[in-house]
Amino acid sequence: MKKAIALVDCNNFYASCERLFNPSIKKRPVIVLSNNDGCIVARSEEAKEIGLPFASPYFKVKHIADKHGAAVFSSNYTLYADISRRVMQVLSFFAPEMEIYSIDEAFLSLAGMNCDFTEYGRKIKKTVYKWTGIPVSVGIASTKTLAKCANHLAKKDRSITGGVLDLTCCDTGPFLEKADIGNIWGIGPAYASKLRERGVYTAADFITLDEKWVKSSMTIMGLRTLLELKGRPCISLDDAPPPKKGIVTSKSFGRLTDSLQEMEQAVSSFASRCSEKLRAQRGFASVVTVFIMTDRFKEMPQYADSLSASLPEATANTPVIIRYSIELLRRLYREGYRYKKCGVMLSGIVTGNNLQMNLFLDKGYRGEPVLMNTVDSINRVYGSGTLFYASSGIEKPWGMRRELLSPAYTTKWSDIVEIGG
């Protein structure tokens, strides 16, 4: 039985979502900005062509965007999540097994299917576009890493591939020569530059390396990547990722602030979000870190620092994590600065069975797991933030700035599209 995996990836996903409900911007460059309208996080093809770089701060390239009449949007995560759900639902019709890899990517297992994969990939692409209006690219290969590669090439050479590339039936060699080492799934920027120093520029160069050397200098993960590129599956579908080593919640303030009280609210709200994420992966954190910083793009006194506390016992209890976070913030805070951003990080994460109990700990410290579960399930059903800690503040003047936000077209009755009839 031929093993085949498809990676389906939405093209310029956020920009495509904005276009779906706004036909007037079909031919204009479209860009989407990160939280607080800071940096460019998504670009349509036209926006790439006029040279708007990914991740650049918007204010630095605004003149280019204005000159070309680009349509600019704040991130509308409610809309993107709903469209993502629709795309994933359509994809689920095409394979018995599927792994949602990110908001705009999914792996589908095509194992045992007896068909022309290129034809099947085109059918997937056509159906997703018809049903949801989102253009996708499809890469098909014998391993996940090769499927990623195929997808990348399908996108890059769209005029030849039509957005679909199947590598299962042919020699992958010529394709690997076209795959830049920096674009290989599992090879980060640090390894990529290390490899380039050794003359390894493409995936084709990489697979000629000695397996032992790769294992010793790039760990077992590097070896898995190598074997996968050679067509030997090492990463299975839905391979549950190990618990995250660190969980971070951090956001820029909507406006600069020098108020300790506002920052305490922000830190408290980030701490509770972190704790929620921690509980969702059934982890317990042993270390809490808080960091704060001023706006490095502005000419004003600059200050940035972070501070960590190791907890007497690993915990997933929100009040405990909030208490430590606020205490850390108070020690970090300096008067006379205007702050732009702060964040909370949980690390030293262990799972329940690796939990080291502290014999001398007051019972009150541990808190009630039942309470946490109740809060989490209420927030899951009635929407995030239904129940929150008073220390997070109610008005949240430090909240996110999203001045260019499009309507919640698919999730709010008052925001649905109006159509001339």
Binding site residues, another protein, CB under 8 A: 23-24, 26, 78, 81-82, 84-90, 100, 102-103, 130-133, 409-411, 413, 416-421
Q: How far is the CB of 245 from another protein (least distance, A)?
A: 15
Lateral strand order in the sheet of 30-33: 40-43, 30-33, 71-74
Nearer to another protein, 11 or 202 (CB): 11
Nearer to another protein, 129 or 201 (CB): 129
DSSP letter for 385, please. Answer: T
**DSSP string covering 17-44:** HHHHT-GGGSSS-EEEE-GGG-BEEEE-
Q: How far is the CB of 87 from another protein (least distance, A)?
A: 8
Q: How far is the CB of 24 from another protein (least distance, A)?
A: 4
Phi, psi of 90 (to 5 degrees): -65, -45
What is the rounded CA–CA span in Å between residue 351 and residue 213? 33
**DSSP string covering 279-297:** HHTTEEEEEEEEEEEE-TT
Nearer to another protein, 86 or 330 (CB): 86
3-state secondary structure 170-218: CCCHHHHHHCEHHHCCCCCHHHHHHHHHCCCCEHHHHCCCCHHHHHHHH
Q: How far is the CB of 21 from another protein (least distance, A)?
A: 9
The total of other beta-carbon atoms located within 10 Å of residue 319's CB is 19
Phi, psi of 288 (to 5 degrees): -115, 130
Q: How far is the CB of 306 from another protein (least distance, A)?
A: 23
Long-range CB contact pairs, 292-295, < 8 A, 24+: 292/263, 292/329, 292/332, 292/333, 292/339, 292/341, 292/342, 293/339, 293/340, 293/341, 293/342, 294/256, 294/337, 294/338, 294/339, 294/340, 295/256, 295/338, 295/340, 295/341
Nearer to another protein, 166 or 276 (CB): 276
Q: How far is the CB of 278 from another protein (least distance, A)?
A: 15
Nearer to another protein, 81 or 361 (CB): 81
CA of residue 107 relative to chain centroid, distance: 16
Q: How far is the CB of 409 from another protein (least distance, A)?
A: 8
Nearer to another protein, 160 or 381 (CB): 381
What is the rounded CA–CA span in Å between residue 203 and residue 370? 50
Nearer to another protein, 78 or 391 (CB): 78
Nearer to another protein, 102 or 193 (CB): 102
Q: How far is the CB of 164 from another protein (least distance, A)?
A: 21
